Amino acid sequence: MGMTMTQKILAKAAGVNRVEPGQLIEARVDMVLGNDITTPVAITEFEKAGFTQVFDRTKISIVLDHYTPCKDIKSAQLCQQARNFARKHQLVNFFDVGHMGVEHALIPEKGLCAPGEVVVGADSHTCTYGALGAFSTGIGSTDMAAAMATGLLWFKVPSAIKVVLKGKLQPHVSGKDVILHLIGAIGVDGALYKSLEFTGEGVASLSMDDRFTISNMAIEAGGKNGIFPVDEKTMEYINGRVNRPCEAFSADEDAQYDSEIVIDLDQLQPTVAMPHLPENTKVVSEVAGLPIDQVVIGSCTNGRISDLRAAAAILKGRKVADHVRCIIIPATQDIVLQAIEEGLIQTFIQAGAAVSTPTCGPCLGGHMGVMAEGERTVSTTNRNFVGRMGHVTSEVILASPDVAAASAVMGCVADPRAL
């Protein structure tokens, strides 16, 4: 019996020839990641356990992004704790205000993850890096403390679901629509502790940004991780970013999967997730016209340059509806610079949108877009639970940048193909 991509990566990291689903292994990690919310908890546990040094100061990344630039005294104290720890242990990959970005956009951009590597992070959307053919998954802050000290963690080897993509995406349809469609089909627990392994000829038509978006939201289907095969686009992306040897793995032809799901990209339509679960999906035309108060375009899911280009293409020459607040958050400083050079920021401001420095901010109801009682937001973020972006009676509709931008212009949920 063969192994899946994920199983092969974990076998190598554990120093064994093969692993089986359900097997418990101790594996070496290549990168440990934390942010301004989870890292302080990990630091406290690290020091409580009596650890005095990290296993490798080049293999720990701390990104201050959730409430940063700090919104209050408490967030400032958390960031101070992270800064002091990074300075004490001389961590190479510490990203503060002016250099930081939304972590799951920043880490790939900086070449800190690569094919075949094991990346763990005290943030559930660490599964983003599966777009590069890495095994990446979220962990708790206590596990982060142990990983920072030892470079090792225990894992239960996941079984897998094979997602076969065929065809290619049509105009105004993107990776966000792919993953929302999939979550709608299998539910928020449909891939519970399983690896979502994407394959098929349709993969080649997806951009790296599409793949990052899809992998990012594997956790919203309960997945342990999401992972894509390594191809020419992957290698083109890491060229000039990753300066160390890496190994691409591919699934064996006789690899075992719990189930197989086929998605025809040719037939996919713009899709949204209605409140209050990512599985509550609708084709956008079914809910077009629903009034909204706010639009947020950004986050680790959809704050990359292609997302901003898609939004700008719709907003250019148009205005945000009078009663709508449109907030645009580029995911990293490099993306901000590129958006300035391409004139995208000017387009956003002329359309009546607000443009922010990189931050997770409104995604978790932190700042820069918190909603009041009864308000409704169309957002390119990844979760729409009750109270996720503010008041418990507010509502979040998850969408692609195309749908979000069209909705900002129309003042209601809108199909970008109708503009």
Per DSSP, the residues of 57-86 read TTSEEEE--SSTTT-SHHHHHHHHHHHHHH
Element at 249 (helix H, strand E): none
Q: How confident is the model at residue 357 (pLDDT cuts 50, 70, 90)?
A: very high
- Cα–Cα distances in Å, from 242 out to 92, 119, 151, 238, 247? 15, 14, 20, 5, 12
Identical fold at 5-263 and 271-418?
yes
Domain 5-263: give its CATH superfamily: Aconitase, domain 3 (3.30.499.10)
Q: In CATH, what number does 271-418 get?
A: 3.30.499.10
Rounded to whole angstroms, the Cα distance separating 196 from 219 reads 9
Threshold 0.85, pTM exceeds: yes
- Report the sign of the C-alpha dihedral through residues 138, 140, 143, 145, in that order: positive
| pLDDT in the model for residue 364 | 87
What does the DSSP 8-state code read for residue 30?
Answer: S
Single out the residue of 113, 208, 194 nearest to residue 159, CA to CA: 194
Average pLDDT estimate for 380-389 = 93
Give the pair of three-digit tokens for residue 107.
């880490």
| pLDDT tens-place string over residues 102-145 | 999 999 999 999 999 999 999 999 999 999 999 999 999 999 99
The pLDDT of residue 387 is: 92
Which sequence spans correspond to the domains of the chain?
A: 5-263, 271-418
